[in-house]
Structure 1
């Protein structure tokens, strides 16, 4: 077996290098990667470099954390997996000992080792990768590797929908219909919600939202978002999901939410947002949502049962050796890309030689 990995050499430049095939530890499995989803955080890293630069300037920076593949070796103490199993994996490895982990909220563990971030910056864009077996999940026979790779962002949507208490009878507005917004939409629908407004500025994304079950869509470039949402719902929303990661949509959320409603901040907003509490001082809850916690099994089941359609969201598929082009296009063609994935399995030999 030969391994290779895509490395962010400098912001804006990805190259593929030879790398050793990692050996699984006693509690790990070795996975041959088939597909990797391109996340918005990967695109940000490609454009600007890692959010938190490594302390070692010689540290290799890998990208990618949404992946699925085939088990090709198992550690001595692994009993739940065999060679040939089709799997996906949670990319974050918590320390398992802090009070958050022990309290069942491992998603907010401060010492989590998350793929493509500190401390190791190990990316999933590699032919072979090791992972702790307790964070690896079997893929049902009717699920493809592409669907397996997209369990990760789907779990974000499922976790947000559960945290916001989405269900039948709730009036919901989702601000932003990028990948995560569309995943939140499907999470809400899988929990029974039927009155869902999705807002965006990109027509192609709104078309996809409609296809995936949005009851109404609002083009924010053509309509007053707040006025139109309140008109559609005959008042405010019970739950507003901010998924765009923008100050303007965060501010709109306080104007759209109804008394006693929930504002769920799912997107990563890079600047401070002033809150006019006089607008929401009728027992409105503002809650941030971070990744997912214990949501993989239910998300896999929802996809397998056809209640969560991730395959239709894939608009662009790239070969591993075209990783540079994949990221360049993800930056330059955001209006037309719903979800990009990179096919790692079956790719040609690496174009660059590592040490």
Structure 2
């Protein structure tokens, strides 16, 4: 089969590789759609922290936002999975440790992450091997575009839930990228007043089309009481800024990661009685995100600007916007021949 491979910083190829065979407890998925994430960009640039920490190495087959159809079953897998449209959890815990037993497999110390950590091959390929235990079935009302947005959606939903907003509360989201805008959609669906802070006029204009109550640059941001702040950026200065902005007694949710360390003054947290929450992974939010897509409560599809082939992906990672792309922040790949 064909698979997209990052061979080193700034170097990629589409290669003919051996097609996966399902081990016990695994299935093979024929990938229909896969998303390109900021983590994939970090592997392309060489900035991904796992490369320095020894959790990942080149060459790496990336891709962790995906959907497709189960085409083969390994020993021990329920036959009802065959032929089903699915997406799946990125985080694959060991299943034996204390964290996995407590339902926190996404922070298992021995976990694999599909297309990211531990050498588990990713979904930017024609086929993907994944444990059946990680699968989530897609309802008929969730098409390929929405299905491949389940993983970022689960992340964004967890961020919104962690902000613990009452109906009518005012939420500020830092960063109008995919996660930030999905968080805006989930928060709007829950009755929050949602504002977005960003950098470029085009991204802020697009955010306004999604129904947010305000979209601002840092210089324009009004002095309003923000009941919650979600930092969905990679800017090292904004974690501290989020604490400055949030109301005393409010909540700050961190889901973005900077390439260099950010500094937060814990005195500001204590003296404002702020609760700060970190979010890693979509795991606990996947099922609810899929459900909200299926019911039409949240529609992620306007965020997808274009769908390209595997052969065009290298140029996308290098910063080329596909011809005819819409205004959204997300690029999808259809890896099928």
Q: TM-score, normalised by structure 1?
A: 0.87
**Deviations 1:21-71 (CA, angstroms, capped at 9, x unpaired):** 211122111101111100001011111265333969996311111111111
Q: The residue matched to 2:70 in structure 1 has which SS?
A: strand
Which residue is 1:343 aligned to?
334
- Pick from 234, 247, 260 the counterpart of residue 236 of structure 2: 247
Which residue is 2:27 aligned to?
29
Which residue is 1:322 aligned to?
312
How many residues of Structure 1 are paired with residues of Structure 2 in the alignment? 334
Which residue is 2:249 aligned to?
260
Q: The residue matched to 2:227 in structure 1 has which SS?
A: strand
Q: The residue matched to 2:43 in structure 1 has which SS?
A: helix
Which residue is 2:68 aligned to?
69
Q: The residue matched to 2:146 in structure 1 has which SS?
A: helix
Q: CA deviation at 1:92?
A: 1.5
Where do residues 190-209 of structure 1 align in structure 2 (5 Å cutoff)? 190=189, 192-209=190-207
Q: Is the 8 A contact 1:204 1:335 kept in 2?
A: no
Cα distance in structure 1, aligned partners of 2:105 and 2:124: 24
Where do residues 164-203 of structure 1 align in structure 2 (5 Å cutoff)? 164-190=163-189, 192-203=190-201
Cα distance in structure 1, aligned partners of 2:81 and 2:110: 30
RMSD, matched Cα = 2.5
Q: TM-score, normalised by structure 2?
A: 0.91
Q: CA deviation at 1:329?
A: 2.8
Cα distance in structure 1, aligned partners of 2:333 and 2:138: 19
Q: Which moved more, 1:266-275 or 1:55-64?
A: 55-64
Which residue is 1:308 aligned to?
298
Gaps of 5+ in 1: 348-355
**Deviations 1:318-352 (CA, angstroms, capped at 9, x unpaired):** 1122221222236999996611111112x3xxxxx
In structure 2, relative to structure 1, the CA distance for the partners of 1:281 and 1:38 (3 Å cut) is same
Cα distance in structure 1, aligned partners of 2:321 and 2:237: 21
In structure 2, relative to structure 1, the CA distance for the partners of 1:323 and 1:147 (3 Å cut) is same
Q: Is the 8 A contact 1:95 1:101 kept in 2?
A: yes
